[in-house]
Structure 1
């Protein structure tokens, strides 16, 4: 039996090279909370999450002050039991948000540590569905000052030229005419056979506004509309899903299997975008994916391709990884020592133990708000 001897956490904050806009907000920097869990065999595992644009230390403090005492001295392989004990410990502090993110990254670190100890890549340790690679879509299309529809189309074409057969762009910031100009330019540039995802980032507050956008977008054959409303507005997700042929996708900041079951029961989404660094870790991700499979619903996880490549590679109803080709938006890429490789629109599954990468300690020292602790 291997016992947990140390749990450490650290916050890093990285400014974006260019201020980047969504439908209704702008991001200037990103905070990440990082953890490292070590067993008495000397093997460590890592976990990480996006901790917001400010106050990322809240997640790190939840690790150090609330959940670390639950883990110390425990069997590293008692993952399910430790999940339940961490969940119970955090119950009064937050069943979603920062506390659940703290639980999530500790759960990821446990799975990653145990995979390293078994000398297996994480996707194989979890029970692989794919041997060499998984399909990915290239995520981008953000709003930037001076970014014309043609420049957006050039960006999307660049991903297609790299071999990606699916791409995603942001929508919902401009008026209908402006949004149609962007969609039309992209569809013309990438052709009819490339899948085109749309991400609204909670752009709309009411059903008529969303429906007007969807009617405009339908001729451009989008593959899905992502997060059309606030994540708490499940009923409007359901109403929109009933009224448009374009699949509704959501769930990237949802936590816990119960909330996802509500989405499924209400038929509010045809695609769940469960994020293992948000929903409750790998343990909860697997529960959610299995539940979704019984409804005939796919999981296309959000963000962190370095983590989710392993989960898509071990989940039968997970067809795509979201992939960021550079560090302009997902600047977490600056913190790790190995990047994923891709070929013909597919990400190559790591073949080294655990996640297949580690933190770049020099980069952490450059961006950290404080030391490991």
Structure 2
């Protein structure tokens, strides 16, 4: 009966090598929240999350002041009970945003700790569908200064050359005509048989604006249009889903099972991109995935392939993991000591206990500083 002995926590701020833009924002640095949960058996589980381009201190405060006191001294196997206790403790401070991301990181660390205690890879501890690898799409296509449609096409083709059968690009920052030119260049570069996805990052304000783009996009057969509107504008997602044959994907910033059920009830999405490190951790992600299966909706989780690969491997209605093959955008990769590999468009699963990697301590010390709660 392992009991939680201590929790180390840290906010690490890592500058991007090159300033990178989305449809409606530009990023130059990323803040990550890190945790290490140690049991009195001497086993340690890790968790993490992204907390934006600023505000890492909010993550540290949530862990230290709200959540660690709920966990210290408790049995690490009581995952459901500990999740409920953390959620109850944070009702007034935030059931979404940074506080929920802190819950997500700690909950993930508990699953990692328990899987390591049993010496099982996380996907097997959860109950695997896939044992060796999972299908992935290569994510990129960001806006960079001087980047032309032809350059975007070359980038997308380079992922196909690496073996990926599905790729994703950004959209929504430029005019409809300019975005069509970018999409055409990408489709021409990858050919008709590669699944080409588009990510708008909450770029549009209403369906009238969205359809000015979507009508141009339909001819190029995108696999989905991601996050066309703000995450809480569920009605516009549902309306757009009725107006276009392009599947609507969303929920990467979605929090908790109740928000996701409203998306499903209103027909606002065909693909849930629920992020376990945003929505409430592995515990909540599993609940959401099971609910989605009842609606016939597929899971394609957002970002952090390091944690989502084993979740996709353990989830029958999960199709893809989003994969970043370098550390230029998902620079979290610099903070861990072992990377996932990919072969023929599939991410190869770790076979060592838990998540299968740890933090690269020299890098963590470069970008942040550990504190401890006991």
Q: Scaled by the length of structure 1, what TM-score is found?
A: 0.99
Could you say which residue in structure 1 is the equivalent of 2:125?
A: 125
Alpha carbons 1:201, 1:228 under 8 Å: kept: yes
Could you say which residue in structure 2 is the equivalent of 1:62?
A: 62
Could you say which residue in structure 2 is the equivalent of 1:25?
A: 25
CA deviation vs aligned residue, 1:272-324 (integer Å, no higher than 9, x gap): 00000000000000000000000000110000000000100000000100000
Could you say which residue in structure 2 is the equivalent of 1:158?
A: 158
Give the Å deviation of 1:57: 1.4
1: CA distance, partners of 2:104 / 2:165: 31
Matched, 1:338 2:326: no
- 1:157-236 aligned at under 5 Å gives the runs 157-236=157-236
Give the Å deviation of 1:372: 2.8
Alpha carbons 2:16, 2:328 under 8 Å: kept: yes
- 1:1-373 aligned at under 5 Å gives the runs 1-368=1-368, 370-373=369-372
Partner SS for 1:235? helix
More off after superposition, 204-213 vs 155-164: 204-213
2: CA distance, partners of 1:338 / 1:4: 25
Partner SS for 1:51? strand
Give the Å deviation of 1:55: 1.0
Partner SS for 1:213? helix
2: CA distance, partners of 1:43 / 1:298: 34
Q: Which stretches of structure 1, 4 residues or longer, exceed 2 Å deviation after superposition?
A: 370-373
CA deviation vs aligned residue, 1:62-109 (integer Å, no higher than 9, x gap): 011100000011001000000001100001111101111111110000
Alpha carbons 2:8, 2:370 under 8 Å: kept: no
2: CA distance, partners of 1:331 / 1:195: 25
Alpha carbons 2:20, 2:143 under 8 Å: kept: yes
Alpha carbons 1:187, 1:220 under 8 Å: kept: yes
Partner SS for 1:185? helix
Partner SS for 1:30? strand
1: CA distance, partners of 2:160 / 2:146: 23
2: CA distance, partners of 1:7 / 1:131: 31
Partner SS for 2:201? coil
Give the Å deviation of 1:371: 2.9
Alpha carbons 1:104, 1:282 under 8 Å: kept: yes
2: CA distance, partners of 1:43 / 1:124: 18
2: CA distance, partners of 1:15 / 1:367: 9
Alpha carbons 2:123, 2:131 under 8 Å: kept: no
Structure 2 stretches of 5 or more lacking a match? none
Partner SS for 2:278? coil
CA deviation vs aligned residue, 1:149-195 (integer Å, no higher than 9, x gap): 01100100000000000000000001111111101111001000000
Alpha carbons 1:8, 1:64 under 8 Å: kept: no
Alpha carbons 1:133, 1:313 under 8 Å: kept: yes
Alpha carbons 2:152, 2:182 under 8 Å: kept: yes
2: CA distance, partners of 1:336 / 1:154: 29
CA deviation vs aligned residue, 1:174-228 (integer Å, no higher than 9, x gap): 1111111101111001000000000000110011110111110000000000000
1: CA distance, partners of 2:2 / 2:17: 43
Give the Å deviation of 1:56: 1.2
2: CA distance, partners of 1:330 / 1:231: 21
More off after superposition, 54-63 vs 266-275: 54-63
Q: Scaled by the length of structure 2, what TM-score is found?
A: 0.99
